[in-house]
Amino acid sequence: MVAGGTVSGAGAPTGPDPRTPSAHQLRLFVALAEELHFSRAAARLFITQSALSQQIKDLERRLGVQLFDRSSRTVTLTPQGKVLLADARDVVTAMDRLSHSASMQARRLTGRLVVGTIGAEAAMPYTRAVLGLLHERHPRVQIDVRSLHFADHFDALFRHDIDVVFLRPPVPDGIEVQQLALEDRLACLPASDPLAGRAPITLAQLADRPVIDVPPQVPRVWWNFWAVDPRPGGTPVRYGPVASDVEGLLHLVAQGEGMCFLPAAARDLFPRPGVSYVEVTDLPPSAAGLAWLRSNRTEPLIKAVASAARYVASA
């Protein structure tokens, strides 16, 4: 205990060193050293000339050296001022860098993004690239990936069970898509089908084959594309039994219940006994993309993952 207060240790300081200049004063010093004119420097700094002069005097007092020679007409750096200017610039640059870093940290997103995928989309390179870039840009965002069925990947968006979904367009109204890739489609036939050993084939050769259908809640705009309905020339498509996911689809194909069309990647990702993948010469390609509700496009997490998807698509 000492008179007038306490100390936390022998000789411990009780406040900031009065000789230490502020970062603000160093910034004023650098500006005046560059302008060598009080009026111009004050205008550049948006302060009054008298306030600048007072701050420079206080800085010189703190440092114990004269930084400028002043006359009625000119302002010049003293030799000491020239030596200290480089250090002052280093401090100002470091403070700017610190402020920028702090600002970036303050703007970093947090929260949880629920990502849906269908089929093998979780394993595709563009999916890994988008989610990897999102994590790199926003490491505090928790990414929750969920596998969805044909029957619910659109409904999950509309119910807000998921935020975005990696899927294969087309999509119903109210959903926006960032395209990520284009890929050929293949016919997926029972291995016992006479066409299974012939490649390539045409859509006309498949006209009498029933196509596996999907549950009624799946938008027809989506499955009509994947069933190629209508066929060229308006040939109607005959539908077979219903499947709600890829495994169910392939099981029905292997059992000879019908056929379907799948992205070319399925040949490597979904090889199954009793199933044969065949090229079709006049089958348009499919797209892959990331989708979200149009009404959610301004949500920060949606904007962040959409930005990552656009970058991946452009690269």
Cβ(297)–Cβ(194) below 8 Å: no
pLDDT the model gives residue 273: 96
pLDDT exceeds 50 at position 116: yes
CA distances from 68 to 29, 39, 59 (A): 9, 15, 11
Q: Which residue's entry shows tokens 């995928």? A: 117
Q: What is the pLDDT of residue 290?
A: 98
| Alpha helices (H) along 167-264 | 220-227, 246-254
Supply the pLDDT for residue 7.
Answer: 40
**215, two tokens:** 């549950």
**Which residues, other chains included, contact 184 with Cβ-Cβ below 8 Å and sequence gap of 6+?**
263, 264, 279, 283, 285, 286
Spatial distance between the Cα atoms of 88 and 45, rounded to a whole number of angstroms: 16
Sign of the alpha-carbon torsion through 114, 116, 122, 126: negative
Q: How far apart are CA 203 and CA 287, in angstroms?
A: 19
pTM (predicted TM-score) = 0.67
pLDDT of residue 105: 57
Distance (Å, rounded) from C-alpha 119 to C-alpha 182?
16
Is residue 83 predicted with pLDDT exceeding 90?
yes
DSSP label of 21: P
Dihedral over Cα of 251, 254, 256, 259: its sign:
positive
Find, among 118, 33, 23, 24, the residue nearest to 81 by Cα: 33
What mean pLDDT is predicted for residues 236-245? Answer: 94
**What's the pLDDT score for residue 266?**
94
Omega into 230 within 30° of 0, i.e. cis? yes
Query: Do 32 and 56 contact (CB within 8 A), yes or no?
Result: yes
Predicted confidence (pLDDT) at residue 106 exceeds the cutoff of 60: no
C-alpha 182/C-alpha 22 separation (Å) is 58
